[in-house]
């Protein structure tokens, strides 16, 4: 509080233009130590998702410890594209993504959940556009995340951006038998 008194006593640009009450409010504020307080820190899970905030003797977690609740979608690359996507007997949903893309991280658990729900009726893969730019440009991917449906080796439909699960279900239902 000693710093607050010294700030109030020192002349500032606020002194000439603001009321005494406003100057007092600014003087009573504690000094900042940077953009984040060292007393609080975020806790991240194994998949990079934020689980909660820990600090000052408190612990808040939003996931069940010891369980990974997301279903991992297998990767497809240039080397495996032909056999996994083009020659598949089932319809294929391919998620075009990148590791730095926030919306891609949001939609990935939804694609994983749908791959489990449609197991035996649909195959789901994800393609990293940074590692496989030639396939992404071949299919005109300009924005990620982009989900594309393939059936009998042909591109049938695409959904661009992170969308609600119901939008993906509508797209999938057009090309699968439930």
Cite the active site residues: 101, 104
Rounded distance between C-alpha atoms, residue 92 and residue 122, angstroms: 6
Task: List CB contacts of 86: < 8 A, sequence separation 6 or more.
Answer: 150, 153
Interior CA angle at 37 toward 33 and 43, to 5°?
150
**The token pair that represents 69 in the structure block:** 């609740």
Interior CA angle at 17 toward 13 and 22, to 5°?
90
- Write the DSSP assignment of 90-115 as a string of letters: S-EEEEEE-TT-HHHHHHHHHHHHHH
Rounded distance between C-alpha atoms, residue 127 and residue 114, angstroms: 17
DSSP 75: B
**CB 93, CB 123: distance < 8 Å:** yes
């Amino acid at each position: 509080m000693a710093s607050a008194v010294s700030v109030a006593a020192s002349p500032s640009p606020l002194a000439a233009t603001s009321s005494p009450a406003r100057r007092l409010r600014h003087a009573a504020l504690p000094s900042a130590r940077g953009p984040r307080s060292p007393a609080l820190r975020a806790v991240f899970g194994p998949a990079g998702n934020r689980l909660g905030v820990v600090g000052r003797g408190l612990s808040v977690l939003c996931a069940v410890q010891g369980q990974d609740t997301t279903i991992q979608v297998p990767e497809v690359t240039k080397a495996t594209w032909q056999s996994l996507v083009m020659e598949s007997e089932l319809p294929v949903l391919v998620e075009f993504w990148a590791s730095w893309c926030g919306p891609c991280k949001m939609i990935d658990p939804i694609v994983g959940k749908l791959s489990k729900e449609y197991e035996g009726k649909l195959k789901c893969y994800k393609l990293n556009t940074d590692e496989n730019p030639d396939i992404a440009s071949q299919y005109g991917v300009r924005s990620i995340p982009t989900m594309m449906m393939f059936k009998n080796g042909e591109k049938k439909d695409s959904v661009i951006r992170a969308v609600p699960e119901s939008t993906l279900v509508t797209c999938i239902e057009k090309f699968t038998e439930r």
